[in-house]
Structure 1
Amino acid sequence: MWWGYSPALDIQHEVNKSETNSLSECLEVLIVGAGDARHIVKTLGSSYLYRDRIITYHVIESTLEQVARSMLLLSTCLQRNLGLQETTRYYLEIFGNTLVRPATAKYLVKHSDQLADIPTNTIDCPWLSLEKLKHKDKDRLEGIFKFWERAARENISVVEYWDERVRKSLKTRYDYRDGVFDWDYHMILKSRNVSNLTVQEYRFWRNNGIAFVWLEGEPIRSNPTLLSNIIQHGPGFIHYAYLGDISNGPFFAWASEEAKDNHDKYRATDIAEREVMRSIHEIRTKEPLCENLVASHRDSSILNGVLVTEMPDTKMEQESWKREKNKYKRDEISWVDIKNHKVIFHPVTSLETLKYKTEYTSKFDFLWVAHNMTKQLSNLTVLLKKGAIVLIELPKYLVQLREEDLQNFIKELKDTAKRNGLYEICDINTKKHIAKFSKC
């Protein structure tokens, strides 16, 4: 729910492979159900490699919490006044950890307070548009940011919610959960050519929801951005605890590239840090990243190691932080100028309604669809130009699916695509994480 299960893609690279759209001056991109902002971040970082284009990213997510998280992660990547490594680790901790370092929690408190003004247009955000959302959706977005600010200060116990989900999922196997996690890793994930992800990282995440850890600092404050169905109720809020993924992990969005050179020694955390850092550096400088800037790769003694092996003391940093009124000036946010790029969020109801709007018929050059949104293809293909590129995520990394399930998914996907006027660009099989099509 909170992250995707396929690597971040450079959308311009995918479009340029097509003779139909490679020369287009403007690109209209539709992203459905990605779960996070990784494709936009990757494309922004790589844009200096291509000629100037105006790219508009139209994004549809199933919940407003996912919209808010994408706004937070994108804003973090685009901020000028943060250090490169600092930004990278803020991004990854908020993205994939139930517990974050105190510094990250303080950043989350501050930035959530600032972002709460975007839905009400109190603060101008040149790279973002929420105009397609209804007023009640904007009000809910504002409430979500305010809840994050308050919950991060009060250190709401996300890990307890996580443990409840694990107990409910495993039932009588809970006391033997490490054996269950090892089985899923060795018998399923390893057979699907998952590189760099270590069994220690995977097991630690399955136990408590902490995916990315480093030597510097200990994750001891809760990450409320992983809570679901946040609704303002009088002076407070209600929510439905943690309803996200507890089986697969956030590792595949940034850490699933195949091992090459000596990178096979790196943990998933190291690869994710390097890839996110590369994109942020390229967004800021429009130059390639020097590998020596990635601090976690300088010391070979920590490669393929586990830096946190047990949960921190539950008594550490449990106090609530007081809110300091008017502490954060509204003009403190300074974003990198990405004038040729615009992100537009649409309500989830757009999946049913866009096909009836003439301005969206044959509008999009590129479509990306999550594996759990393929039933929406009949609503989406009418929105595509002839020759448009369609990328559909495959559930290769889902441990709950067996080989037979993956084969059945691909068979059904091919049938659905054919019925909706899509043809395969390349062979589709269970070894791949993306299926590629084009609009006839």
Structure 2
Amino acid sequence: MDRFGAVTWWGFSPALHLLDEGLLEKARLEEKGEDEALNILLIGMGDIRHIIKTLALSHRHRKPKLKFYIIENSLEVIARHMLLLAVVFEQPDQLGLQEKAELFLELYGNSLIRQQTFDYLRTKCDQFIKFVTDLDYMSQQFSILDLSQLKFKERDLLEGVFKFWRNQDHKTFPIVEMWEQRLRHSLKTRYDSRMGVFDWDYSMRLHDKTSIVYSREYKKWRETGVAFAFREGGYTVPNRSLASGLLINKGGEKVAQRGYWGDMVNSPYIALGIESENEELVKKVNDRHVKTSAEVALYNVTAYIHELLTGMRYTAGDVVKETKMPSRPIIEELDEDVNASEALSSVEATSTLGQSEKTKSMSATDTEFLRPVDVTVTFLPINSAQELHRKGKFHKAFDLVYLSNSMVHNLTEELQAIFAPGASVVIETVKFMLELKKEMSEEYVKKVTGMAHKAGCKIMKPCDGLKDAYMIFKYEH
């Protein structure tokens, strides 16, 4: 297994607004009737970055009903999607805006988390277990999720994942030792000079692709697996949401082994921390960025959650610039006694995860999450992309299909049966896969273009594999 990992815990490209005119033609949005849904299929997304950004910015358009369908190659990744969506849609009186953003990133990109964060994770597991065993209960408490398409065996295995997450014996997932073992295995004789290796990877590979990631934060993550540490100390508890099983070859036999089998070279900064609508965050002074990638990620997640829940743009310093409110509310219900903007944007008005009283208030196992209007996230069976064309309900169903670089092999001639006329097909490039050579990036673009052509798709604009994070096609049959 290479250093990219066998399980994709985070994407290797920046978050997309999937309703943007550069990806989806404006006419496709306008032609949707009031009761028609825009169907979006996300194959191998790895995290929920595209979903939260799209939902946050969707009110800026004529917003149809949105139905996201997700296919991953690991049930543990699906479990993570559920966890991170839960953080986003917690009621404001349970988690304030700052808490949500910090908690999201801590679970998202850290090998080690705080005890308070583990307490939250453990509490959510109790409710998630109820979700996978009682779909009616889930529809009442967390209406955005739909697990009905998963196989019974997959739901049973998801229950096992959540039971492992809530295990309080931290020795059963010693991620510090696992991280070190992976480093030793990948670097071999270079292990003792690993800081020099990290520096070389940063200077010769990452910096040219995105200079906003600071050397010190990248090297710290390479050494420890901790990407987002916004509070002093206390990051000592293994993040069990990064655990997965893998078949390892031992003595000629395949043996199942739980461990950390994710990315150890690209970093979780790429997905959320290298671009921002707030130009002040990405500007340079004396050819040096004024903000770190972690700070940009924190701002972006804060802004997405704020705009998603209030319909207003977020700016730093708790200054809220009002925009035209959506014709349909984003959230169906908020407590009448809670002003959403004030509850979400005032750091001083909310307690922190470090305060015991707030932690206690989060311990209820039957919390009801906020209800997004006209939005569902449906999980399809693991690795089911090549079976979709056989299902009549998905024939010409999808207006936009996204494929990650790790799942692009699913773009076959048969897959075009699920594309709606004029559908957009968005494919992640390998721009940010740091260990790939220039020639490999160029070859990838050529190969994927050929695959898309066979599937009836025409590229919308030329793609430079070294500069562009995505390739955009239109289905023309």
TM-score tier after normalising by the smaller chain length: 0.7 to 0.9
Residue identity opposite 1:283 in structure 2: L
The answer to whether residue 302 in structure 2 is matched with residue 288 in structure 1 is: no
2:77 to 66, 78, 83: 66
**1:278 aligns to 2:303 (yes or no):** yes
15 and 29 in structure 1: CA distance in 2 versus 1, 3 angstrom threshold = farther
Amino acid at match of 2:238: S
**Match of residue 187 from structure 2:** 170
1:10-159 equivalent positions in 2, closer than 5 A: 10-14=17-21, 17-23=24-30, 24-25=32-33, 26-80=37-91, 81-121=94-134, 122-123=137-138, 124=140, 125-151=142-168, 156-159=173-176
1:55 offset after TM fit, Å?
0.6
Residues 127-171 of structure 1 deviation map (CA, whole Å, 9 limit, x = unaligned): 111111111111111111111011576673111111111100000
2:427 is the alignment partner of 1:392: yes
In the alignment, which residue of structure 1 is the partner of 2:328?
none
Q: Cα distance, 1:293 vs. partner?
A: 3.2
TM-score by structure 1 length?
A: 0.86
User: Contact 1:110 / 1:149 at 8 angstroms: preserved in 2?
Assistant: yes
Once residues 239 and 86 of structure 1 are traced to their aligned partners in structure 2, the CA distance between those partners, rounded to angstroms, is 34
Which residue does the alignment assign to 2:14?
7
After TM superposition, give the deviation of residue 394 of structure 1 in Å: 0.7
**In structure 2, the residue corresponding to 1:371 is in which secondary structure?**
coil
Cα deviation, residue 433, structure 1:
0.4
Q: 1:394 & 1:212 partners in 2: Cα distance?
A: 25
Partner amino acid, structure 2, of 1:432? D
Asked if the contact 2:72/2:383 (under 8 Å) is kept, the reply is no
Cα deviation code 1:341-390 (max 9, x no counterpart): 00000012421211111211111001110011111111432211111111
Between the aligned partners of 2:109 and 2:145, the Cα distance in structure 1 is 23
Q: Structure 1 CA distance, aligned partners of 2:313 and 2:395?
A: 38
Aligned partners of 1:152 and 1:223 also within 8 Å:
no
Distance 1:153 1:15 in 2: 46
1:292 positional shift: 1.0
Q: 1:317 maps to what in 2?
A: none
Task: Report the CA distance shift for 1:94/1:239 in structure 2 as closer, same or farther (over 3 A).
Answer: farther
Which segment is superposed worse, 420-429 or 105-114?
A: 105-114
Distance in 1 separating the partners of 2:188 and 2:171 = 30
For the 8 Å contact 1:15–1:22, the answer to whether it is kept is: no
Q: 1:428 aligns with which of 463, 468, 473?
A: 463
Q: Distance in 2 between matches of 1:433 and 1:354?
A: 26
The AA in structure 1 aligned to 2:228 is F
SS in 1 for 2:28: coil
**What is the distance in 2 between the residues matched to 1:33 and 1:14?**
23
AA matched with 2:307: E
Q: CA deviation at 1:28?
A: 0.4
SS in structure 2 of the partner of residue 344 of structure 1: strand
1:219 aligns with 2:240: no
Q: What residue in structure 1 maps to residue 450 of structure 2? A: 415
Deviation at 1:20, TM superposition (A): 4.4
Amino acid at match of 2:25: S
Q: Which range is displaced more, 3-12 or 119-128?
A: 119-128
1:369 alignment partner in structure 2: 403
SS of 1:109 mapped into structure 2: helix
Which residue of structure 1 aligns with residue 258 of structure 2?
Answer: 240
Residue aligning to 1:322 = none
Separation in 1, partners of 2:187, 2:232: 33
- Aligned CA distance change for structure 1 residues 174 and 337 (closer, same or farther; 3 Å): same
1:15–1:21: 8 Å Cα contact kept in structure 2? Answer: no
Matched residues in 2 for 1:107 and 1:54: separation? 31
TM-score for the superposition, normalised by structure 2? 0.80
- From 189, 214, 222, the equivalent of 1:206 is 222
Determine the structure 2 residue equivalent to 1:229: 245
Instruction: Show structure 1 runs of 4+ deviating over 4 A.
Output: 14-17, 151-155
Of the structure 1 ranges 34-43 and 348-357, higher mean CA displacement relative to structure 2 is found in 348-357
Q: Quote the offset at 1:268 in angstroms.
A: 0.7
Q: Deviations over 1:400-428 (max 9, x none)?
A: 10111111111111111111111111120
State the alpha-carbon separation in 1 of the partners of residues 216 and 313 from structure 2: 32
**Contact residue 152 and residue 221 of structure 1 kept, 8 A:** no
- 1:296-311 to structure 2, matched below 5 A, reads none
Counterpart residue type for residue 199 of structure 1: S
Contact residue 152 and residue 222 of structure 1 kept, 8 A: no
What is the rounded CA distance, in whole Å, between the counterparts of 2:401 and 2:467 in structure 1?
22
Q: Are 1:249 and 2:274 matched, yes or no? A: no
Secondary structure of 1:405's partner? helix
Aligned pairs (5 A) from 1:345-364: 345-364=379-398
Structure 1, unmatched stretches of 5+, are 232-237, 295-326
- Cα distance, 1:45 vs. partner? 1.2
Whole-Å separation in 2 of the counterparts to 1:369 and 1:208 = 30
